[in-house]
Structure 1
Amino acid sequence: MIRVLLADDEALIRSGLAVLLRHEPGFEVVGSAADGLSAVRLAHEQRPDVVLMDVRMPGIDGIEATRRLVADPATASVRVLILTTFDHDANVFAALHAGASGFLPKDTEPDRLLEAIRVVAGGEALLAPRATRRLIEQFRRTTPPATPSVALDEALTPRELEVLPAIAAGLSNAEIADRFSISYATAKTHVSRLLTKLDVRDRAQLVIIAYEYGVVRPGAG
């Protein structure tokens, strides 16, 4: 059972999401919040697996609420899936930096949303394709060419330095295994070690590191 907390300032949106989730096996709605502070409070009380978080809310917005949840050890394991009508570059980038595990527009089809919640609850990261494109375009416009970080070169093995850009390209564990002719278990181990060594919670954060440290260059490949 995946326990979900809904955070959106529009009552109609919250009600619609609640109806969708309550009629789908394997999901439980554990709370509903109309603002960021309430979302943080309810997350502490209910410890959901996933928070469906709007960006534009009164008090503190969804990005700040996400930042607070991720920074607090008591709620650090809670996964946040940003769900908003505002898919601008700044929101995508800010949400990922805050620690969100996924980002989807509100016009996402119900089946796609349900699968996204499952993916995020399972510890993976998820970005809508157009959000990923916008993120990469932002790096292309604003990030000057860089060379791989010396710190990363020292911290990671040669294979891990190969796997990191594959993750940034959106490859799954199975696809990474196929690309490098290794087993699925080995690919999963490489990803887990990257998360541990770079002290991040999921693939979304690895994508940011890959671009910021120049392991992947926007527009390359």
Structure 2
Amino acid sequence: MALRCMIVDDSPRFLAAARGLLEREGLLVVAVATNGAEAIRYAVEAGPDVTLVDINLGEQSGFDVVRRLTREAGLAPSTVILISTHAEEDYAELIAASPAAGFLPKARLSAGAVRALLGSSA
């Protein structure tokens, strides 16, 4: 059974590219959201196995969205992964303090990288 994934990012171009890549590699993208409110709603409706959340969501912080997903939508922290075009070092302290399972640079996004990070958080 395919891993069910939700992607949260404010860039329609990135959402389309990431969805295509992950689905070609065997993940099932069950929802895409462009902001925190959509992410909460879709998390409850779609019940993803893993959620990828961009750190910079325009006016919103991805860190805040992760906290809301774990509190309000009941997602397990071990199923939420932060993503960004920025280097992990730029946000190391915030990532460490976040309830997310970890961080994945957008340039290294792949189904294998997602699975590896989920495996390391279990």
How far off its partner does 1:58 sit?
3.3
Cα distance, 1:87 vs structure 2: 2.4
Instruction: Work out which of the residue numbers 104, 114, 120 in structure 2 matches 1:117.
Output: 114
Aligned partners of 1:36 and 1:59 also within 8 Å: no
| Larger Cα-atom Rg | 1
Query: What's 1:83 paired with?
Result: 83
Whether the 8 Å contact between 1:52 and 1:81 is mirrored in structure 2 is yes
Partner of 1:5: 6
Residue 20 of structure 1 corresponds to 21
1:30 alignment partner in structure 2 = 30
Query: Contact 1:53–1:83 (CA<8 Å) still a contact in 2?
Result: yes
* Paired residues of 2:44 and 2:73 also in contact (CA < 8 A): no
Deviations 1:110-159 (A, max 9, x none): 5xx2222112344x23xxxxxxxxxxxxxxxxxxxxxxxxxxxxxxxxxx
Paired letter, 1:92 = A
For residue 57 of structure 1, what is the aligned residue in structure 2? 57
TM-score of the superposition, structure 1-length normalised? 0.49
Q: Greater CA deviation, 1-10 or 55-64?
A: 55-64
Contact 2:53 / 2:62 at 8 angstroms: preserved in 1?
yes
**After the TM superposition, which segments of 4 or more aligned residues of structure 1 sit over 6 Å from their partners?**
none
Counterparts of 1:94-113 in structure 2, within 5 Å, are: 94-108=94-108, 110=109, 113=110
Name stretches of at least 5 consecutive residues in structure 1 with no aligned partner.
126-201, 203-221
**1:90, distance to aligned residue in structure 2 (A):** 5.5
- SS of 1:107 mapped into structure 2: helix
Greater percentage in strand? 2
Higher relative contact order (CA 8 A, sep 6+): 2
Counterpart Cα distance in 1 of 2:37 and 2:105: 22
SS in 2 for 1:29: strand
Unaligned runs of 5+ in 2: none
Query: Cα distance 1:38–1:59, how it changes in 2: closer, same or farther (>3 A)?
Result: farther
1:120 to 1:40, Cα distance in 2 relative to 1, 3 A: farther
Task: Name the SS for the 2:83 alignment partner.
Answer: strand
Q: With the length of structure 2 as denominator, give the TM-score of the two structures.
A: 0.83
State the secondary structure of the residue aligned to 2:60.
coil
CA distance in 2, matches of 1:120, 1:11: 25
Alignment partners' CA distance in 1, 2:118 and 2:104: 15
User: Following the alignment from structure 1 to structure 2, what is the Cα–Cα distance between the partners of residues 45 and 121?
Assistant: 22
